[in-house]
Amino acid sequence: MIYKIIDRAAWSQAKQIGHFQGAAIDLKDGYIHFSTAEQVQETAAKHFANQHDLLLVAVDDLRLGETLKWERSRGNSLFPHLYSDLPLDAVVWEKELPWCDDEQQHQFPELE
């Protein structure tokens, strides 16, 4: 399982057109950024601090085929990068990712 943090409006648009093309940073970089369960909280802290109205989307990486590449990135760790649009049939679930002002971090559901 891999994870994507996405704002609610962009996810709503993806559902209307039947696939997710990527956020602005994904489009700029030429692939959709994902994180593993071990990486996603650091990703949230680094790139989504103080942002509200976010969702956490869980994706079955085995459904993505050869367009998913594992590449070195932050801290020399392997990160999943998708070199195509995200088909919605690869999505296992989506959950709210609320921001907790008291703790200055997002509140994550239990991840696999």
Q: Is 44 helix (H, G, I), strand (E, B) or coil?
A: helix
For the chain, the C-alpha Rg in angstroms (whole number) is 13
DSSP run (H or E) holding 7: strand 2-7
Complete DSSP assignment for 22-36: --HHHHHHTSEE-B-
Q: Mind listing the pLDDT tens digit for each residue in 66-77?
A: 999 999 988 889
In this prediction, residue 75 carries a pLDDT of 84
How many Cα atoms occupy the beta-carbon half-sphere of 28 within 13 Å? Answer: 3
In this structure, are residues 2 and 63 in contact, taking their beta carbons and an 8 Å threshold?
Answer: no
The Cα 29–Cα 32 span in angstroms is 8
In this structure, are residues 31 and 67 in contact, taking their beta carbons and an 8 Å threshold?
Answer: no
Q: Mind listing the pLDDT tens digit for each residue in 3-54?
A: 999 999 999 999 999 999 999 999 999 999 999 999 999 999 999 998 999 9
pTM of the predicted protein model: 0.92
In this structure, are residues 19 and 32 in contact, taking their beta carbons and an 8 Å threshold?
Answer: no
